[in-house]
Structure 1
């Protein structure tokens, strides 16, 4: 018997968009199955059904996975209505419909992953996945150990709870009154590190994500990218699945 899955899951797993956005597209009448507009979220389809999203047939691409060293001043998206550079501009040779897993702020540089595998992306972005993301921040001012401890204890800003898994002083320049801090996060909310440090009174001058799980930027310059090796994809998947109950 042909296996059937929910329509929004099939769309997300094809790498078109997130599951939540897929649900909105269905409700807005922008999805067709076998030529008919479908608005029911509970609809299930099989691999024999022809699915169209906004007039474009859903093609089942082979999954691809890339690591990009995102420069500062680049949007973590596939397009930008203001015409700014986006992460996919750095992978023009990739024919698959890839998208970034999560995001890095416009003015933050560093490691970001791109894929067309929606299931893999959802797994890594699961709030309980607990995959370490390691950042290096340059702050204006030098925070004390006690102040950095507040980041690990967690703070609430504008009704949103934020915390770091780890935060430590790497080096300090008392003449310039700046510090280099290593910060480890499990989830990255919008401008989270910048907001936490601003709350402590230490604005961030530069921020870079250096590691994502076992992956790093070794051998890459800003703007460089490379495909992930099969064992790297497997390790990331195992790391995320181990923590998701």
Structure 2
């Protein structure tokens, strides 16, 4: 264990939230270090001596980390809590020995693989763009997508004023009047796959995440979950 670490990493290691969310909490002035409010993300914490509070409550390191894989059903939101009483991915797993939060997010109507953990540093490494972790989806799109459309997706298209990175794309099959495609991206922009497909003229009818950085759902059915093995956690971080 490091004796000193940046306060954002420290809070994430205390299971407050993902590192990015912790940065927001720090910047909003909700964190104190030895009784003084800190907003500077580069502030260093002596993990053995310093006293840190978040929203007025003391926090401390929890060295026991857990990791779950869930096959998210449609209609469930990717959050720890809901303001409007909606079912969350954390609700499905239920109260465990640790306070869990989802790594990244899937839209409410999107199904498939999502990771939940209490390890903020792990979540940061899976979601920050600089680590370029692959996420694979199966998308049922309206109409028959042709080779030109597939090629455009592979090369990247402009959404929200910015071109997407190159993607891996293949046609799985034609499904009646629609097409089932597999698409692998390394970014995690909001509604990215849906917007990419719409950009080439094909609305997404159904979307499922099937794999993250080489780790797939296997035989996990919708609504089911399991703990990840140490080897699987290492694979995700590779």
TM-score by length of 1: 0.88
Per-residue deviation, 1:164: 4.8
The reply to whether residue 149 of structure 1 matches residue 140 of structure 2 is no
**Is 2:198–2:204's contact at 8 Å kept on the other side of the alignment?**
yes
Residue 243 of structure 1: aligned partner: none
The reply to whether residue 11 of structure 1 matches residue 11 of structure 2 is yes
Runs of 5+ consecutive residues of structure 2 not aligned to the other structure: none
TM-score by length of 2: 0.91
Q: What does the per-residue CA deviation read over 1:74-118, in whole Å, with 9 as the maximum and x for residues that have no partner?
A: 111111222211110111132312211111111110001111111
Residue 76 of structure 1: aligned partner: 78
Distance 1:99 1:180, change over 3 A: same
- Of residues 180-189 and 35-44 in structure 1, the stretch that sits farther from structure 2 once superposed is 35-44
Per-residue deviation, 1:141: 0.2
Q: What does the per-residue CA deviation read over 1:8-44, in whole Å, with 9 as the maximum and x for residues that have no partner?
A: 2211232312434433433433212234433444432
Residue 105 of structure 1: aligned partner: 107
**Is 1:145–1:168's contact at 8 Å kept on the other side of the alignment?**
no
Residue 208 of structure 1: aligned partner: 208
Distance 1:130 1:38, change over 3 A: closer
- Of residues 226-235 and 8-17 in structure 1, the stretch that sits farther from structure 2 once superposed is 8-17
Residue 114 of structure 1: aligned partner: 116
Residue 225 of structure 2: aligned partner: 225
Residue 59 of structure 2: aligned partner: 58
Correspondence for 2:173 among 167, 171, 174: 171
SS at match of 2:114: strand
